[in-house]
């Protein structure tokens, strides 16, 4: 969650290393994942497509896999002649979505490979040296590289990370401890990326694929709603020779692949997001656009919820299963506590119609 990081204004000192690093990056203050759980969000990020617009082998599944026609960032960059690698420590990447490994020259997924292990073990201390080793191996190659690294620790179930920092006994306290723990272990990677041979010609993107709920709207954890606590995320991009800045416009993680493609001259023809290149090149403007958010039904939770955030930060949510619509002004009400439809039945009428058209265009299974 961005609101649990110092660079986004959190009072607790959970992220000193990310905070310092972000001062050299373009930081997006209104970034949204397209889904509130990894099995939908990660494929969306890697394809640049909304979850409902992705071709799945089986859509109604806890761990949907991509159909052959979908191309991930790995395949896009490998097809352009880049070396593609991934370093992870998570059972999801081991066998839940095998299509994500298409186009990857080397995928290192050591560490805990079962759900039970992920509830009792920490991955960051093992993951960081593996990431650093790959950066060392890749930095002097004539071939450009695309490296994906995934940290899992700030995730339920949360553990007290006494070796770094603790805050208390509540679930949120433990979540913050996990964030501080991950930030601590990220430092070696961030330091490596600042070394000669990497700093001057490496684009770095840091993001989260979903947030986490602490009963703000009745749920714990994630994968249930499209309220901000589950779906608003940090997004930082550092590009060589680009001045750091803060961007307050609404963007989606669906925009990451098109932006990387534009920055590197690679083509990503199936991506549906926007290129955010003008904010890095200083040439032209990024046209404002709504960003859609989707909780697609799956066996563990069958409600269908879709949302949209407009450029003016008005948000509309429709629970398709229950036929309930909510409208929030995120500037005045970032906690989404006051449904404006209770006061004005015409609130955000145009944005509501935009959302309904998006839902109606869903190709379904």
pLDDT at residue 116 in the model = 62
Hey, which bits of the chain come out as E strands?
Answer: 26-32, 83-87, 106-108, 145-149, 204-207, 213-214, 220-221, 232-238, 245-252, 291-295, 305-309, 314-319, 324-329
pLDDT at residue 122 in the model = 61
pLDDT at 111 over 70: no
pLDDT at 146 over 60: yes
Instruction: Give 236-268 pLDDT, tens digit per residue.
Output: 999 999 999 999 999 999 999 999 999 999 998
Of the pLDDT bands very low, low, confident and very high (cuts 50, 70, 90), residue 119 is low
Tell me the percentage of the chain whose pLDDT exceeds 70. 96
Name which of 357, 248, 233 is nearest 306 in CA terms.
357
Instruction: Give 319-351 pLDDT, tens digit per residue.
Output: 999 999 999 999 999 999 999 998 888 889 999
pLDDT at 120 over 60: no
Distances (CA, A) of 245 to 28, 279, 282, 283: 9, 9, 12, 15
pLDDT at residue 34 in the model = 98
Dig out the tokens for 77 from the structure. 């960059």
Please tell me the least confidently modeled range out of 57-61, 94-98, 237-241: 94-98
Tokens 């119609």 map to which residue? 353
pLDDT at 118 over 60: no
Q: What is the CA radius of gyration of the chain?
A: 20
pLDDT at 18 over 90: yes
pLDDT at residue 2 in the model = 97
Per-chain mean pLDDT for the chain: 92
Of the pLDDT bands very low, low, confident and very high (cuts 50, 70, 90), residue 137 is very high
Of the pLDDT bands very low, low, confident and very high (cuts 50, 70, 90), residue 363 is confident
Query: Could you count the other beta carbons within 10 Å of the beta carbon of residue 121?
Result: 16
Instruction: Give 276-310 pLDDT, tens digit per residue.
Output: 999 999 999 999 999 999 999 999 888 999 999 99
Of the pLDDT bands very low, low, confident and very high (cuts 50, 70, 90), residue 270 is confident
| Model confidence, pTM | 0.94
Question: For the chain, how long is the longest CA-to-CA vector?
Answer: 61
Name which of 310, 297, 313 is nearest 355 in CA terms.
310
Q: Which residues is 106 bridged to in the sheet?
A: 85
Domains of the chain: 2-288 (3.40.720.10), 303-360 (no CATH)
pLDDT at residue 220 in the model = 85
CA distance 248 to 208: 18
């Amino acid at each position: 969650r961005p609101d649990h990081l110092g660079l986004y204004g959190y009072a607790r000192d959970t992220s000193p290393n990310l905070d310092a690093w972000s001062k050299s990056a373009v930081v997006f203050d209104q970034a949204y994942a397209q889904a509130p759980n990894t099995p939908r969000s990660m494929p969306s990020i890697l394809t640049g497509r909304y979850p409902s617009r992705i071709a799945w082998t089986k859509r109604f599944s806890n761990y949907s896999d991509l159909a052959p026609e979908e191309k991930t960032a790995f395949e896009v960059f490998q097809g352009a002649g880049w070396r593609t690698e991934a370093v992870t420590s998570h059972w999801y990447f081991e066998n839940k979505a095998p299509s994500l490994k298409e186009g990857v020259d080397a995928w290192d997924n050591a560490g805990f490979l079962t759900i039970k292990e992920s509830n009792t073990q920490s991955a960051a201390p093992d993951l960081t040296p593996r990431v650093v080793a790959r950066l060392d191996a890749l930095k002097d190659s004539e071939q450009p590289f695309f490296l994906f690294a995934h940290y899992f620790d700030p995730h339920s179930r949360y553990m007290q990370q006494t070796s770094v920092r603790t805050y208390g006994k509540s679930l949120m306290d433990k979540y913050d401890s996990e964030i501080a723990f991950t930030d601590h272990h990220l430092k070696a990677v961030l330091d490596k990326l600042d070394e000669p041979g990497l700093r001057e010609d490496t684009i770095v993107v840091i993001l989260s694929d979903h947030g986490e709920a602490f009963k703000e709207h009745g749920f714990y954890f994630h994968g249930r709603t499209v309220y901000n606590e589950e779906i608003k995320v940090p997004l930082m991009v550092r590009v060589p020779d680009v001045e750091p800045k803060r961007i307050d416009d609404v963007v989606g993680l669906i925009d990451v692949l098109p932006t990387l493609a534009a920055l590197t001259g690679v083509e990503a023809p199936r991506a549906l997001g926007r290129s955010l290149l003008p904010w890095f090149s200083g040439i032209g403007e990024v046209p404002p656009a709504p960003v859609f958010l989707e909780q697609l039904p799956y066996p563990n939770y069958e409600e269908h919820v879709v949302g949209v955030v407009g450029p003016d930060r008005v948000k509309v949510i429709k629970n398709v299963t229950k036929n309930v619509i909510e409208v929030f002004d995120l500037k005045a009400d970032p906690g989404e506590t006051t449904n404006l439809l209770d006061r004005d039945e015409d609130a955000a009428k145009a944005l509501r119609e935009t959302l309904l058209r998006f839902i109606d265009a869903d190709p379904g299974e």
